[in-house]
Structure 1
Amino acid sequence: MSTTDRLAQLSEAGVSVWLDDLSRERLNTGNLAELIRDKHVVGVTTNPTIFAGALSAGAAYDEQVAELAGRGADVDAAVRELTTTDVRNAADLFREVYRDTGGVDGRVSIEVDPRLAKETDRTVAEAQDLWKTVDRPNVLIKIPATEQGLPAITRTLAEGISVNVTLIFSTDRYRAVIEAFFAGLEQAKANGHDLSGIHSVASFFVSRVDSEVDKRLAEIGSGEAKAMLGEAAIANAQLAYATYLEMFATDRWKALAEHGANPQRPLWASTGVKSPEYSDTRYVDRLVVAGTVNTMPEQTLEAAADHAEITGDTVTGTEERARAVFDRLEVIGVNVADVFRVLENEGVQKFEKSWTELLDTVSGQLDKARS
C-alpha cells in the first residue's frame, strides 16, 4: 500500500489530518504545499514551542527581522509580527481546502501568549487582537483550557471568533470546555453573529497522559502496575469521545444546531509517541473515528503514511472498557486527578518557557540586525 493510500484511508474514515508544525522554511520551500497536495494534510496547528524552534533555526526570518529592527520594533511586537505573518501565509495556502470543506478544514491555529493562561480578561483581549491581526477567516485562536481560560473561551466565541481550545487532559475539564463552547455560541447568537461561520476544535492531549501515568506505574512496580503500562492515554481519549457524543446529543446543542451551529470537533493532540516501547503510530491507528482531527508532528505523519494500520472506527463503543482502565489504575494506586493537575500545570509551564526562549531568540536577532 502506498503512503497516499494509508493517509487517504484515514481521511476517508472521517479523520482530518493536520500537521502540528509551521515555519517560514516550510512555507518558502513549498514543503507545506507538498504536504497538502501529497499527504492529505488539511490543517496546521502551532504553539509557542513550535515557533521557538522555527525562529531559532536557519535564516528564513532574517529579512523580516532586519526590517523590524530598522523601524524600531520591540521584541514583543516583533514576535507578534513574525508569527502572525507565518499564520496568515499558511491560512492563504489552505484557502482552497477551507472553501472546499465549507470551512470545516483548511484551518491554521495560533495560540495566545501562554503567560496569560491564568488571566481571563487579558486572554480575551489577546484573542481579539490576534484575530484582527491575522485577518483570515480560516484561523483558529488557541486558548488553554485552564479554569481562567474557560470564561475566555466563552467570551471569545461570543464575538464570532473561531477557537481551538488547547491543553485538555481530563474528561471533567473537557465537559467544562463543551459547556463553555455552548455558552459562547448562545451569546454569539444573542450578539447577532451567524453561527454557521464559527468553528471550534477541542484539543485533547494524548501521549503526555501515558508518559505521566506510566512513570507512576513504574514507581509502583508491581506486576499489576506493569500490566497497565500504555493503557491510560487511549482509554482517556476514548472517554473523551464518549463525553463528546453525550454532550452533543443534548437539547441544548440541538437548539444551537438548528440555528446553523457547527459542532466542536475533538482533536487528538500530542500524538507523537514518547516511549520507544510503543508503536510510533499508536495514537493514530487507535484513535480513528469520524468527525475528529488528528494533528501530528511531521515524524508521526511520515510514520502513519508509511505503516499506519487503518482498520476503521477504533473508538466508538469503547467507553465501558476505557472506564475499567481508569478504575483499575485507581485501585493500583495511581491518583488520576493528580495526574491531570500535574499535566495541565506542566503544559502551561512548558509553553511559558518556550515563549521566553522565543522572546530571547528574537531579541538577540533584533540586536544583531541593529549592530
Structure 2
Amino acid sequence: MADLREVHARLGQSLWLDNLSRTLIHDGILARYIAEDGVSGVTSNPSIFQKAIHESPYYQEDLACPADSAERLYEQMVKVDLQMACDLLQPTHAASQGDDGWVSWEESPRLAMDEAATVVEAERLRGIVQRNNLLIKVPATPAGIAALRTLIGRGISVNVTLMFGLQHVREVFAAYQEGLAAWVDGGGDPKRVKAVASLFLSRVDTLVDQQLEKIGNEAALRLRGKAAVAVAKKAYAIYQETFHGQGFSRLKAAGGRPQYLLWASTSTKDPAYSDLLYVEPLMGPETINTLPDATLGKLRDHGHLVAQLGEGLDAAEKTLADLAAEGIDLNGQVAPQLQEEGLAAFSAAFEAMLDEVEKRRA
C-alpha cells in the first residue's frame, strides 16, 4: 500500500478528488481522504452532482425546501456540500498560503458559449458559496477563455475545464496571464487569485484509438494508447516555458501564481491499458491530478510514486509527430470534437439532474 501523502511531500503534485456528495462528507469519507491520503482539493461537475442527488439519502429533507425553480433548489442543496468541502479543506488552503485546498463548482453548461453570462454567473456562484477557496469552473470554449481573462482581471479564481489539446493549453495560459496582469496593474493582490487548467486525458485516447484502428496499418496500431500522455507531457513543457520563462517574470515577482495543469478524466477506459495510465507517468511538481474514488484506491493499492512527468519529452514529441503523419489532427479535429462531446455530456447530465430534482420535489 502506497502512502499517497508522499505524492505531494516528495513529488510536488497535488491529488484532488474528482467527486463530491453529501454522503462523502457526512460519512467522513472525504475527511479520511484528506487525513490519510493527502487529498488536497475537490472537483465536481454536473455528472457528479446528478449521481450524488440520485443516490445519496442525505438530500431528502432539502428536496422539500421551497425554491423558485429546480435549478435554484439544486443550487441550495449543493451550496451546502460545497461549503462543507471548502471548510474541510480550509486548513490545507491556509497552510499552503492559498496554493492548494480548493473546491471546484462548474457553471451551467447552458452558458458555455456566452462570455458575458459566464462572467455574471461566476460572480453570482461565488457569492452563493462565500468561501475563499472556491474555484469556478468555466469551459475552454472561445467564450469561456474570454471570460477567464475577465474573471482573473476581477480577482475571481477559476478552474478552466474541457481542455483536450495543446492549442487549448496555449490559449488558456495566455488569457490567464492577460487577466492576471490586469488585476495586478489595477492594484489587486495576486496572492488572492488561483487558476488551474484542466486537461482531459482518457477521452483523447478513446477517440484517437478509434481513428488509428480505422487506419489499421502497423505504424498506426503501435500508437494506440499513447496520444493522451504525449499531449500531457508536451503541455507540461509548455507550462514550464510559459511560467518559468521571462514572459511571466514580472507577474511572478509581484506574487502571481503560475496556472497549474490539472490532469482530468484520469480513469482508464480501455482494460488493455494500465489502470494508472493517466496517473503514474504524469507525476511531477506544480501539477494536480484529480482522481475518482476508484482510481485513488488503485493508486493507494499498487501505485509507484516516482516523478516521471519531466522525462520522455523527446519520445512524446515523436509520438505527436507520428500521429500527425498518420493523419491524426489533434488540435484541429480531435480536441474540438471532444470538447463538443464533453459539453453535450455535461449538458445532458445537468438537464437530467434538474428533471430529477423537479420530480422529487413535487
TM-score (norm 1): 0.94
1:333 aligns with 2:314: no
Aligned: 1:109 with 2:101:
no
What is the aligned length?
360
What is aligned with 2:6?
9
2: distance between equivalents of 1:62 and 1:249?
A: 49
1:8-47 deviation per Cα after TM superposition (whole angstroms, max 9, x unaligned): 3322211101000000111111111111111111110001
The AA in structure 2 aligned to 1:123 is: T
Cα contact 2:5–2:36 (8 A) shared by 1:
no
Cα deviations by residue, 1:64-113 (Å, 9 ceiling, x for unpaired): 111x2xx3431121111112221111001111111111111111000111
Cα distance, 1:154 vs structure 2? 0.7
Is the 2:153–2:181 Cα contact (8 Å) retained in structure 1? Answer: yes
Distance 1:143 1:127 in 2: 8
Matches within 5 A, 1:258-277: 258-277=253-272
Pairwise mapping of residues 138-153 of structure 1 onto structure 2 (< 5 A)?
Answer: 138-153=133-148
Asked if structure 1 preserves the Cα contact closer than 8 Å seen for 2:98 and 2:191, the reply is: no
Q: What is the SS of the residue equivalent to 2:137?
A: strand
Residue in 2 that maps onto 1:246: 241
Structure 1 position 62 matched with structure 2 position 57: no
Which is worse superposed, 7-16 or 261-270? 7-16
Distance in 2 between residues matched to 1:283 and 1:222, nearest whole Å: 26
- Quote the offset at 1:335 in angstroms: 2.7
User: In structure 2, what is the equivalent of residue 46 of structure 1?
Assistant: 44
User: What is the CA–CA distance in structure 2 between the aligned matches of 1:247 and 1:200, rounded to whole Å?
Assistant: 14
Cα deviation, residue 341, structure 1: 1.4
Corresponding residue SS for 2:58: coil
Which runs of structure 2 are paired with 1:1-371 in the superposition (5 Å)? Answer: 2-3=1-2, 5=3, 7-11=4-8, 12-66=10-64, 68=65, 71-311=66-306, 313-336=307-330, 337-367=332-362
Mean Cα displacement is larger for which, 273-282 or 335-344?
335-344
SS of 1:266's partner is strand
Give per-residue Cα distances to partners, 1:280-311, cap 9 Å, x unaligned: 11211100111110000011000000001122
Secondary structure of the corresponding residue to residue 165 of structure 1: strand
CA RMSD of aligned residues (A): 1.2
Deviates more, 1:183-192 or 1:120-129: 183-192
SS at match of 2:77: helix
Alpha-carbon separation, structure 2, partners of 1:245 and 1:101: 21
Segments of structure 2 that go 5 or more residues without pairing to the other structure are none
- In 1: Cα distance, 2:232 partner to 2:60 partner: 41
Cα deviations by residue, 1:222-253 (Å, 9 ceiling, x for unpaired): 21111111110100000100110111134331
Deviation of 1:262 after TM superposition, in Å, equals 1.0
- In structure 2, the CA distance between the partners of 1:99 and 1:362, relative to structure 1 (3 Å rule), is same
Output the amino acid matched with 2:24: R
Tell me which amino acid in the other structure corresponds to 1:286: P
SS of the equivalent of 2:138 reads: strand
Whether the 8 Å CA contact 2:135–2:157 is kept in 1: the answer is yes
Shift of 1:122: 0.4
Residues 184-219 of structure 1: CA deviation (Å, up to 9, x unaligned):
111112332211111111111111111110111111
Give 5+ residue unaligned stretches, structure 1. none
The share of aligned pairs that are identical, in percent, is 37
Once the two structures are TM-superposed, the CA of residue 328 in structure 1 deviates from its matched residue by: 0.7
CA offsets, 1:320-369, max 9 Å, x none?
221211111122232322111111111111111111011111111111xx
For residue 22 of structure 1, give the secondary structure of its aligned residue in structure 2: coil
1:317 positional shift? 4.5
Measure, in 1, the Cα distance between the counterparts of 2:247 and 2:334.
31
CA distance in 2, matches of 1:299, 1:365: 29
TM-score, scaled relative to structure 2: 0.97
SS in 1 for 2:141: coil
Distance in structure 2 (CA, Å) of the matches to 1:193 and 1:113: 28
2: CA distance, partners of 1:335 / 1:268: 21
Tell whether the 8 Å contact from 2:16 to 2:43 is kept in structure 1 after alignment: yes
Secondary structure at the aligned position of 2:40 is classed as strand
- 2:142 is paired with a residue whose SS is coil
Query: What CA distance in whole angstroms lies between the structure 2 residues aligned with 1:186 and 1:107?
Result: 22
**What is the alpha-carbon distance in structure 1 between the residues aligned to residue 319 and residue 195 of structure 2?**
29
